[in-house]
Amino acid sequence: MADAWLTSLITKTPQEGFELAITLSRRGVKYTQPDVSKLKELRPTYAESADSLTAASHVVAVNFQTVAAANNYWR
């Protein structure tokens, strides 16, 4: 990808770290399906499936592990 979207894993607060984990999760999708209109098309279906939402939350949890470790858990 041409744009610089990830210059650091360091965030000021845990919440910002969680939100960065969400960005990482979405980027993981976008590298596979870069067509944004296609992604918008898919959204309603999976945002209304409990299992899809759990799977999305799982990916965020894995990325949050990385961000939290990078920030030494904001201790």
* Residue 2 touches a copy of itself, criterion: CB under 8 A: no
Taking alpha carbons only, the member of 59, 75, 69, 73 closest to residue 23 is 59
- For the chain, how long is the longest CA-to-CA vector? 41
Q: Write the interaction track for a copy of itself spanning residues 6-45; mark x where CB under 8 A is met and - where it is not.
A: xxxxx--xxx--xx--x-xxxxxx-xxx----x---xx-x
Contact between 64 and a copy of itself by CB under 8 A: the answer reads: yes
Report which DSSP code applies to 71. Answer: T
Residue with tokens 């961000």: 67
Least separation in angstroms between CB 36 and a copy of itself: 13
How many residues touch a copy of itself under the rule CB under 8 A: the total is 54
Read off the tokens for 28: 């993981």
State the nearest-atom distance from the C-beta of 47 to a copy of itself, in Å. 5
